[in-house]
Amino acid sequence: MAYDDEIKKPSAPTMSRSRGQLASAYAPGAFFTFEGGLGSCIALPGRSSQFDEAHLAGPVKTQILTRLDEALSGWFERAYNCRPADANNRINAELCIDNALLNDTHTSVQQVDRGRLIFLNPSDMGYAPAPLSFVCNHCMLFMNFKNVNEFKKNRTLLTNSKCRSEKHDHCQWRQLDVIFVHWSGNWEPVIPGKYDWDGTNHRLREPINACRLCHGKDFFLNTTSPSIGNWFFKCANPACNDVDSRAWLKNDRVTIEILKDEFPQRIGEARMEPISYRASSAFYAHSEQFVLFVNEQDEFLRLLDPSKAIELSNFIASQFGYGKARPSMEEIEAELVQRGYETEWSDYVQQKATLDVAKQQMTKLGPAGEGMQPVIDMLEKNVQQKVDGWFKGNPPLLKEINELPQVIQSLLVNRSEFSSRYDPFRLAVEHEALKRYKLSAPVMGSGRRPFVRFDALDNDLAPQDKDEQQRQETSTRTLLSRLGLKTMGLIREFDLCRFTYGFSRVQAVPHFEKRNMQMPVKLNLFPTIRDEIGAKHPIYVITQANEAIYVQLDQDAVYQWLEHVSPADLFKWNALEGTPLGACLLERARPFGRYLDRLSARGESSAYLYVYTLLHTYSHVLMKAIAEHSGLDLGSLSEYLFPADLAFVVYRNGTTMDLGNLSALWRNENERFLRHLLEPKALICNSGSLCDANPKNPGACPDCILVPETSCLAMNQLLSRSVLRGGPAPREDGDHQNHIPGFLQVVNNAL
């Protein structure tokens, strides 16, 4: 890249943006234009003399590294194996993931070395002008500079150049808004020449930026075609005027250096794509997020440790109504003796024998023995305490055996198949932590509640008039019922950690099809920076405790809707039996794949997928409504889903001065906001029938419920307005050829 040398210069400028923006849209490698649209730049790692290092607790760093290892290994596995094993052109590991992450033999990803990473607060970011390619608006003369230093030294060429158009004296230059990018993560400015492979000397051949006939250095760039692919260079020598149609084709130097002598047979894999630097495909920042476990929540964090599989299994059993069962006394005796606790068993046998003798004596005495009952009660209590003591403590001598169904046990054993963000068991643990420390937490010292239900307001959110408060709460309960919601309220501090660790270009997924061949997309770490120890890759971390709106659907309403939809794996469920609906959904959970690649279009309909789609769609509709009524930008909101608990959270994803807008939204709009969610216009698409008829994703498009990719948890998939208002079945359902009923239709008996 022409601007690598700028990274080392402490004098280069820095920019100030919100931390969320710097960690995403302005992360290193991103192209952007400053306000006013004047001049394109590329973001570079900050070059402060002392970096703003994020001081994170050990458990937080552990969670980050765990998520990072999963993300990197998952990406590599999919990219490296995107072609059949017998394909002619093998996949090169160096084209799948950053070289710093590969093992010595370049055959797999090694565990991330914490010493090669530095956790930073995204407080500032450097930048440099790029691309340094210019074209005259009048005569189409082209000019390019290799780097910023050359540009500074020769910028007078732009101000003093004589225009070759007869109608103008001086050239009117504009910065070219087109670059060439490649899925290796490399980019190049527009130039007349291209990289190639020198087969004779077995080395990379630098671009020859000269006319193939007269060897002149000046060129015109014809940009009159609306299609970038049809632009072309023309020799500026009047005696030549040669047009080389192939000069517009560019080869990726990174791919050439990896393929080496194979390059002539695999040119298609090295061809670069001409795009506008404004296009999203020019840069994709990769990030992860998770609910932040504070020190008091270590018990939940431990459950997610792979070595604590039994504890997690017991938690799921207890949480979803499967209960726990202890081994038989014969099994207990065998285990205690085997583990060297014969004394414990002998003490139990002695206490049990004493109890049995007392019972026999009381039976012999008949009515006269009733006075022995208190003694027997005490002996029974001692025996029970003895047994209970084996299952208590940290760690306990013995462990209870839960009664989880085999299907859930199997899913728990294969939890690695679930990506963290879609793992229903991890999300169940996170939801319980959220419930205990936020949703059910006691009142703060200030008198404000950490979580305020909209139908049971605290003094901060309630109207001053008590009668009005009572009326508002009653009306809210009615509206929530019509919306099919059990709970809706404000979380004052939703603790979340989001970290950005690298980028890709052309695609945001590990591979894609190009020229009838699967191409691996390279995931690159951000360029290294230097601290007192050495070069390290920055990880930009944002921990925040912003306002959020928590929503939990009514399980009776959800099941009633599922009965109307009738997916292929519909089950019988009755709330009176005590088992939550989430238990039945967990039994039908399925791995999506980190990039939702394991979801088949028009496959067998699934209750779990339908509920996830319902929650996800509801979340997007709520985000749109919040943006419309609060003044917040849609891109400043994000979501978190808890499928087994039928809940989701929409939260403020940023650290700007409007952090109180969600509480202000309720104070100002309250019932009007809820009524808006019930109005038909909230679920209407501006594209009309075109959206519903979209075969790729019926009922979801940018004109209705799609949101910016940085805001969406599931890459704008598993979405359809049909699940709320009724309409064509979602993309993943191949069983329903006709329309499906909507959740709000079922709840309000509007079918």
Give the pLDDT band (50/70/90) at residue 159: confident
φ/ψ of 418, rounded to 5, equals -85, 135
Residue 613 Ramachandran class (φ > 0 left, ψ -120 to 50 alpha, else beta) = alpha
Of residues 554 and 314, more confidently modeled = 554
Q: What is the pTM of this model?
A: 0.80
Structure tokens at 344: 């414990």
Q: How far apart are CA 745 and CA 751, in angstroms?
A: 6
Among candidate residues 674, 633, 677, 668, the one with its CA nearest the CA of residue 652: 633
**Which band of pLDDT confidence, cut at 50, 70 and 90, is reported for residue 107?**
confident
pLDDT digits (tens, 9 = 90+) for 265-302: 999 999 999 999 888 889 999 998 888 876 666 778 78
For 192, the token pair is 């007349």
Q: Greater confidence, 530 or 44?
A: 44
Instruction: Please check whether residue 331 is in contact with residue 401, taking contact to mean a CB–CB distance below 8 angstroms.
Output: no
Q: For residue 537, what pLDDT is reported? A: 93
The token pair that represents 331 in the structure block:
């099994």
Q: What does the DSSP assignment read for 72-107?
A: HHHHHHHHHTSS-TT-SSPPPGGGTB-GGGB-TTSS
Residue 58 pLDDT: 80
Q: Is residue 444 over pLDDT 80? A: no
CA dist., res. 65 & res. 205, Å (int):
40
CA 660 and chain centroid, separation: 24
Buried b (16+ CB within 10 A) or exposed e, 120-154: bbbbbbbbbbbbbbbbbebbbbbbbbebbeebeee
Q: What is the mean pLDDT of residues 248-267?
A: 94
Q: Are 656 and 629 in contact (CB under 8 A)?
A: no
CB 646 within 8 A of CB 558: yes
Place of tokens 């309000």: 748
Report which secondary-structure segment, H or E, holds 197: strand 196-198
Determine the pLDDT at residue 659: 57
Q: What is the pLDDT of residues 32-78, one digit of tens each?
A: 988 666 688 999 987 654 678 888 888 888 889 988 998 999 899 99
Q: What percent of the chain has pLDDT over 90?
A: 50
pLDDT winner (highest mean) among 416-425, 477-486, 508-517: 477-486
Is the confidence at residue 751, as pLDDT, over 80? no
* Residue 366's pLDDT band (cuts 50, 70, 90): confident
pLDDT attached to residue 656: 55
Residue 247, pLDDT score: 84
Give the position of tokens 């009005």.
468
The stretch 175-202 carries a mean pLDDT of 94
For the stretch 216-252, pLDDT in tens is 999 999 999 989 989 999 999 999 999 988 889 999 9
| Beta-sheet strand order (sheet of 178-181) | 187-189, 178-181, 273-276
Place of tokens 């360029």: 527
What are the percentages of helix, strand and coil residues in the chain, rounded to 5?
40, 20, 40
Q: What's the chain's average pLDDT?
A: 88
The gap between the terminal CA atoms of the chain, to the nearest Å, is: 59
The confidence score (pLDDT) of residue 63 equals: 85
Domain range summary for the chain, segments of one domain joined by +: 134-143+150-284, 291-411, 450-499+535-747
Q: What pLDDT does 6 receive?
A: 41
Give yes or no for a contact between 177 and 277, defined as CB atoms under 8 angstroms apart.
yes
Residue by residue, DSSP assigns 119-138 as EE----EEEEE---EEEETT
Q: Where are the beta strands (DSSP E) in 206-356?
A: 219-222, 232-235, 273-276, 284-291, 324-325
> CA–CA separation, 649 vs 452, rounded Å?
14
Beta bridge partners of 109: 102
Q: What is the mean pLDDT of residues 139-166?
A: 89
CA 317 vs. chain centroid, Å, equals 28
In this predicted model, what pLDDT tens digit does every residue of 637-691 receive, in sequence order?
999 999 999 999 999 886 554 556 889 999 998 999 999 999 988 999 988 778 8
176-185, 442-451, 601-610, 662-671: least confidently modelled range? 442-451
